[in-house]
Amino acid sequence: MKELHLSIVSPEKSIFDGDVNIVTLPGTIGSFSILPGHAPIVSSLKAGTLSYTTTGGEEHTLDIQGGFVELSDGTASVCIS
């Protein structure tokens, strides 16, 4: 199975950096999920809840005010505010 690496940063600090099974993001035109093997994407994010599940099965949620995500080569890079 392909892997998905997630990196979440804010202007102040790094929030998470690790492998996940899924990440769900509040896109500006609707919520969407990224799974391992997803096609490359760049999207802006609006205020809402970002959630992800680690490969160990831990579920996490984070309220964000906006930002953007870029998925390339199996790594989702999320910059939030």
Tens digits of residue pLDDT in 66-75: 999 999 999 9
DSSP conformation class of 57: S
Residues in CB range of 57: below 8 A, 6 or more apart:
none
Nearest to 75 by CA among 1, 3, 2, 5: 5
Place of tokens 């093997």: 37
Low-confidence spans in the chain with pLDDT less than 50? none
Q: What is the pLDDT of residues 48-58, one digit of tens each?
A: 999 999 999 99
How much is the pLDDT for 2? Answer: 78
**Structural domain that includes position 14:** 4-80
**Rounded CA separation 6/20 (Å):** 7
Residue 18: which CATH number? Answer: 2.60.15.10
**Rounded CA separation 13/17 (Å):** 11
Q: How many domains does the chain have?
A: 1
